């Protein structure tokens, strides 16, 4: 089918900027805005819903929401400290909400008054963050919500000509804001679009195509998520011919693909994840705080994504005063300590073709072909089996952070290791040295699993 606004390619991008994004594997997502001030509590009551949805869920009048801006004083905001938490996590990139659904902008936009420049400090926190992160070698990407609850021209649906006219003005406004972001912060490495699911956006696939084109023209190498895009017929993420739009698939949100679903590895993709069960903005209530993930659960997810060729974007919700929540910093530090020992199985690694999903964790493979076993679900038996691809044998095993590790052969390409995990250091990672199976296949031992 001939599409004007479909995918621009059928295969993954292979340029240097895309390879860099792909190699990152671990990113820090940040949701910060006016919603960080009430942090899920309104008029003394906890609202058990994502904190960034508070104005909608608690039906807060627009004027009262906007009045929060005068309390956004940045009493404890320091971009350097945020960037330090990303270093502690071992993140290689960061994605920050420049504008969320409520329309509030973290940069002094010329196209609205609803921005950080009109809060007491008047600071350009986005500029401060770009500088602090990039000084540490961490790429910065921008989240931008196309959905805008505040803008008078936003429409969810287009019922008549008046709606279409208003929404055309809205799209023009959003395009100008994106041009402004590209011009003010030309070192930005990628854009993460959200709030693109409404009928109004789907009826204007041309605009999503134009946004991608504009950004790529202005920022060489910029990486754009699939969630931005709709084609001529309103098909999202994947066009009507089945080709991925944008540069990577961004549909995995608070869920990951099944670990045996190896087909996922044929595309670039990224999963984003909250630390509490379900809030992206900081939620102060016990509801969110009781559900914080354990660092080793986060490590499991990082290895899970890497094993299928995807990136993992872990969300942080800094508090209204600008400080990072200590519990989240603690989790980041633990994950980062694990990565500092085991990162060679994660950064620059991806899907290990030919290695079946092992159940006790994941196989990953580096760009140079080294295969790793990441044991996130060690069996109570204390032993794991390694089924190598046919024709391969295990020649050596090295436990990362330790040294040579014993193993024994059970059958042709099937090996077993005894492992002793330690909850304090987290999942064990083994680098596997392989060789060709020495014996000719005619001498194969009978396979006890197969009944003739
Ligand atoms: C269930 O409907 C949702 C869920 C999450 C609508 C929007 C979202 C937003 C969150 O606020 C957050 O920004 C997440 C990445 N996004 C999809």
**Strands 223-224, 190-194: parallel, antiparallel or unpaired by DSSP?**
parallel
Residue from 34, 53, 198, 281 to probe ligand 1 pocket by mutation (most atoms less than 8 Å from CB): 53
Report the mean per-residue pLDDT for the chain.
Answer: 96
- 254 C-alpha to ligand 1 centroid (Å): 10
- 50 C-alpha to ligand 1 centroid (Å): 8
CA nearest neighbour of 223 among 111, 161, 313? 313
pLDDT for residue 423: 83
Q: How many CA atoms lie within 13 A of 375 on its CB side?
A: 23
- 401 C-alpha to ligand 1 centroid (Å): 38
pTM of the model as a whole: 0.96
Phi then psi for residue 63, to 5 deg, are: -65, -35
The answer to whether residue 149 scores a pLDDT higher than 70 is yes
What are the angstrom distances between the C-alpha of 176 and each of 60, 276, 306, 349? 28, 34, 36, 38
Where does ligand 1 bind, in terms of residues with CB under 6 Å?
Answer: 31, 50, 52, 194, 253, 272, 280
Which pLDDT tens digit goes with each residue over 242-293? 999 999 999 999 999 999 999 999 999 999 999 999 999 999 999 899 999 9
Return the residue whose CA atom lies nearest to atom 7 of ligand 1.
Answer: 195
Which pLDDT tens digit goes with each residue over 321-356? 999 999 999 999 999 999 999 999 999 999 999 999
- 52 C-alpha to ligand 1 centroid (Å): 9
- 446 C-alpha to ligand 1 centroid (Å): 53
Helix, strand, coil shares of the chain, percent, nearest 5, are 30, 20, 45
Q: What number does the ligand 1 atom closest to the CA of 52 have?
A: 11
335/316 Cα distance (integer angstroms): 14
pLDDT for residue 421: 80
Residue 226's pLDDT band (cuts 50, 70, 90): very high
Please, what is the Cα angle at 52 between 51 and 53, to 5 degrees? 90
Return the residue whose CA atom lies nearest to atom 16 of ligand 1.
Answer: 194
For 325, the 3-state DSSP assignment is: coil
The CATH class for the domain spanning 350-436 reads mainly beta
46/61 Cα distance (integer angstroms): 18
Which CATH superfamily groups domain 16-343?
Glycosidases (3.20.20.80)
Residue range 8-20: average pLDDT?
A: 97
The structural domains of the chain, with segments of one domain joined by +, span: 16-343, 350-436
Residue 436's pLDDT band (cuts 50, 70, 90): very high
Could you report how far apart the first and last alpha carbons of the chain are, in Å? 50
**Token digits for 172?**
């023009």
- 159 C-alpha to ligand 1 centroid (Å): 25
- 51 C-alpha to ligand 1 centroid (Å): 11
The answer to whether residue 441 scores a pLDDT higher than 80 is no
Length of the chain: 452
Burial class (CB in 10 A: 0-12, 13-18, 19+), 110: exposed
pLDDT for residue 451: 53
Which pLDDT tens digit goes with each residue over 151-195? 999 999 999 999 999 999 999 999 999 999 999 999 999 999 999
Residue from 225, 253, 274 to probe ligand 1 pocket by mutation (most atoms less than 8 Å from CB): 253
For 369, the 3-state DSSP assignment is: coil
């Amino acid at each position: 089918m001939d599409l004007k606004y479909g995918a621009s390619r059928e295969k993954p991008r292979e340029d240097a900027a895309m390879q860099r994004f792909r190699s990152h594997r671990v990113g820090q997502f940040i949701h910060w805005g006016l919603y960080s001030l009430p942090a899920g509590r309104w008029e003394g009551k906890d609202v058990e819903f994502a904190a960034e949805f508070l104005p909608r869920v608690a039906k807060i009048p627009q004027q009262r929401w906007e009045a929060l801006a005068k309390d956004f004083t940045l009493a404890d905001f320091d971009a350097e400290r945020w960037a330090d938490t990303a270093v502690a996590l071992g993140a290689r990139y960061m994605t920050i909400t420049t504008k969320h659904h409520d329309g509030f902008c973290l940069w002094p936009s010329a196209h609205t008054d609803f921005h950080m420049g009109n809060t007491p400090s008047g600071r350009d926190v986005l500029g401060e963050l770009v500088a602090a992160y990039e000084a540490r070698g961490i790429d910065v990407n921008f989240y931008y919500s196309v959905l805008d609850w505040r803008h008078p021209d936003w429409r969810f649906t287009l019922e008549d000509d008046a709606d279409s006219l208003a929404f055309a003005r809205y799209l023009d406004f959003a395009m100008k804001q994106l041009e402004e972001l590209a011009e003010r912060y030309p070192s930005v490495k990628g854009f993460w679009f959200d709030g693109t699911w409404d009928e109004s956006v789907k009826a204007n696939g041309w605009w999503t195509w134009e946004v991608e084109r504009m950004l790529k023209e202005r920022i060489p190498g910029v990486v754009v998520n699939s969630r931005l895009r709709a084609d001529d017929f309103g098909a999202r993420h994947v066009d009507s011919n089945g080709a991925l739009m944008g540069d990577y698939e961004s549909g995995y949100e608070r869920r990951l693909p099944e670990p045996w679903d190896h087909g996922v590895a044929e595309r670039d993709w990224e999963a984003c994840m909250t630390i509490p069960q379900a809030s992206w903005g900081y939620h102060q209530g016990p509801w969110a705080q009781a559900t914080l993930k354990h660092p080793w659960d986060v490590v499991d997810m990082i290895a899970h994504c890497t094993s299928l060729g995807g990136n993992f974007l872990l969300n942080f919700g800094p508090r209204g005063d600008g400080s990072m929540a200590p519990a989240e910093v603690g989790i980041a530090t633990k994950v980062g300590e694990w990565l500092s020992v085991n990162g060679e199985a994660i950064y620059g690694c991806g899907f290990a073709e030919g290695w079946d999903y092992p159940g006790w964790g994941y196989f990953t493979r580096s760009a140079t072909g080294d295969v790793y076993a990441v044991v996130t679900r060690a069996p109570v038996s204390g032993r794991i089996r390694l089924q190598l691809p046919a024709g391969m044998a295990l020649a050596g095993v090295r436990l990362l952070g330790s040294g040579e590790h014993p193993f024994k052969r059970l059958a042709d390409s099937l090996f077993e290791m005894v492992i002793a995990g330690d909850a304090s250091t987290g999942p064990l990672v083994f680098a596997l040295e392989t060789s060709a199976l020495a014996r000719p296949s005619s001498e194969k031992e009978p396979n006890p699993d197969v009944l003739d």
